[in-house]
Amino acid sequence: MTSYLLERAWVDGAVRDDVLVEIEGGRFARVSPADRRNPTGDAATLRGLTIPGLANDHSHAFHRALRGRTQRERGTFWTWREQMYAVAEQLTPDSYFALARATYREMAASGYTSVSEFHYLHDPEPAMGDALRAAAAEAGIAITLLDTCYLSSGFGAPPEGVQLRWSDGTAERWAERVGDGPAAIHSVRAVPRDQLRVFRGRAPLHVHLSEQVAENEACLAAYGVTPTRLLHDEGLLGPGTTVVHATHLTDEDVDLLGSTGTNACITPTTERDLADGIGPARRLVAAGCRISIGSDSHAVIDPFEELRGLEMDERLATQVRGHWSAAELLAIGAGGQIAVGERADLVTIGTTGPRTAGTGADENTAVFAATAADVTHVVASGRVVATRDDHEEIGRELDEALSTLWGRAP
């Protein structure tokens, strides 16, 4: 049994002072008001504001190698993609393990306690996937490895270059290899329409959707329907499906996603980095979708930046404030709750630092003031996986993994 006294904590949708949590077998066994007059035994005190662990619903771990380096030339989404392929080409199971472990440690230190890894670099299989699972285990965060089907470089075009390493040839062969596990379709560009039925009934199922206008135009030219309509007509939308980005949608697309209860993962820091555009997140929720966040290309890894990005992007697009409350945004970001029976994931934010002091130490501090650098203590499944003291070491680990990858001395 481990116990913590939380100075302030987000419990049942409100900030409360002095919460005692007891953890057994990686889950909360008891969550109760602490009595300050009675000592709480050996409970360690977590000073600051503690929130539930945050869930990163969309990641490509190897994209961490591109941070900073892809900003040197102006470029487009498509030139960025060429640079991304150049990194992918070099990766081996060993170098991917080192990079992914460091990246997942950065995630843990930033407040993410779980990750959905959208994995399409499956060559040589299964070594690359095993490397990712091992990396997450060592970093201490939970991983859902979404084995991703990638068969074509565009509508009706065969895979080319490094994409050949990712292709199983057909969706049937992909399914034979993957079995019943979590799955992803890279995009409607990457899997021909006549093979999409293979994915019917699978959950969780993730798919990149309408990130770029060019994808919509090509889909309309190839099939006469939008990517959303295509997924709907192939029976692939529903509560077990997560569409990633959902940026350029028609009104009908929003209705189809909402009426089927599909989850939409929005990745604001990637979408702004890649000049994708601003998706209709608020309208998707009004239509019936659930929303999650992801750090995707890891242009930054900062869950607070993703959450406030949802609100700030809407403000810029509409010139109106107050689309989301901080409480709503925290609920979107949290993987669970600080409640009995839930996985014992805790993220403590320092509330006396330069960015957060004097901001009220409440949900608005978490969403509108804090950054990943303000996270002081992270517990995942009852285990401490990162503290502020780890930041320098994680930086060194990233530097080493990336120096090796880019062929430079550390």
Stretch that binds Zn ion, among 289-297, 313-321, 336-344, 368-376 (CB under 5 A): 289-297
Taking CB under 5 A as the binding criterion, the range among 83-91, 104-112, 173-181, 293-301 that sits at the site for Zn ion is 293-301
d(CA 240, CA 236): 9
Our CB check for Zn ion shows the closer of 296 and 328 to be 296
Binding piece for Zn ion, criterion CB under 5 A, among 136-144, 152-160, 291-299, 372-380: 291-299
**Cβ at position 30, least distance to Zn ion in Å:** 39
* 91 versus 330: smaller Cβ distance to Zn ion: 91
Cβ-proximal residues to 402 (8 Å cutoff; 6+ apart), any chain: 64, 65, 99, 102
Give the shortest CB-317-to-Zn ion separation in angstroms: 22
CB of 373 to Zn ion, least distance (A): 24
- Measure the CA–CA gap between 273 and 285, rounded to whole angstroms: 24
The phi, psi pair for 393, rounded to 5°, reads -65, -40
Residue 391: count of CB within 10 angstroms of its CB: 16
Residue whose CB is less far from Zn ion, 10 or 112: 112
Q: Which residues pair with 140 in a beta bridge?
A: none
Among 273, 296, 305, 306, binds Zn ion (CB under 5 A): 296
CB of 63 to Zn ion, least distance (A): 8
Report the distance separating Cα 65 and Cα 91, nearest Å: 11
Give the CA distances from residue 25 to residues 297, 342, 350, in Å, rounded to whole numbers and listed in that order.
Answer: 33, 11, 27
Stretch binding Zn ion (CB under 5 A), from 180-188, 290-298, 361-369, 374-382: 290-298
Tell me how far apart the alpha carbons of residues 200 and 120 are, in angstroms, rounded to a whole number.
19
Task: For Zn ion, give the closer residue by CB, 297 or 356.
Answer: 297
- Using the contact rule CB under 5 A, the part of the chain among 8-16, 121-129, 246-254, 292-300 near Zn ion is 292-300
Tell me how far apart the alpha carbons of residues 45 and 348 are, in angstroms, rounded to a whole number: 11
Q: In the complex with Zn ion, which residue's Cβ is closer, 273 or 296? A: 296
CB of 244 to Zn ion, least distance (A): 6
Of 199-207, 295-303, 333-341, 351-359, which part binds Zn ion (CB under 5 A)?
Answer: 295-303
Q: Beta strands of 223-351 (E only): which ranges?
A: 241-245, 263-266, 290-293, 346-349
Q: Which is nearer to Zn ion, 219 or 375 (CB)?
A: 219
Q: State the nearest-atom distance from the C-beta of 120 to Zn ion, in Å.
A: 9
- What SS3 state is found at 57? strand
Token readout for 2 is 């481990």
Helix axis angle, 303-318 to 326-333, nearest 10°: 130
Please give the single-letter amino acid code of residue 153. S
What is the bridge-based pairing of β-strands 54-59 and 44-52? unpaired
CB of 60 vs Zn ion, minimal distance in Å: 6
Shortest separation between residue 267's beta carbon and Zn ion, angstroms: 7
State which residue has the least CB distance to Zn ion.
Answer: 296
Q: How far is CA 74 from CA 70, 184, 233, 313, 405, in A?
A: 9, 30, 38, 22, 23
CA dihedral of 378, 291, 309, 365, whole degrees rounded to 10? -50
> How many chain residues are in contact with Zn ion, going by CB under 5 A?
1
Q: Based on CB atoms, which residue is closest to Zn ion, 21 or 87? A: 87
Shortest distance, position 176 Cβ to Zn ion, whole Å: 25
Q: What is the DSSP string of 321-352?
A: --SS-HHHHHHHHBSS-SSTTSB--EEEE-SS
Question: Residues 68-97 vs Zn ion: string with x where CB under 5 A?
Answer: ------------------------------
Q: Which is nearer to Zn ion, 305 or 328 (CB)?
A: 305
Closer to Zn ion at the Cβ: 122 or 377? 122
Q: State in angstroms the smallest separation of the CB of 84 from Zn ion.
A: 10
Residue number with CB closer to Zn ion (60 or 308): 60
Determine, following the binding rule CB under 5 A, whether residue 271 of this chain makes contact with Zn ion.
Answer: no
Contact footprint for Zn ion (CB under 5 A): 296
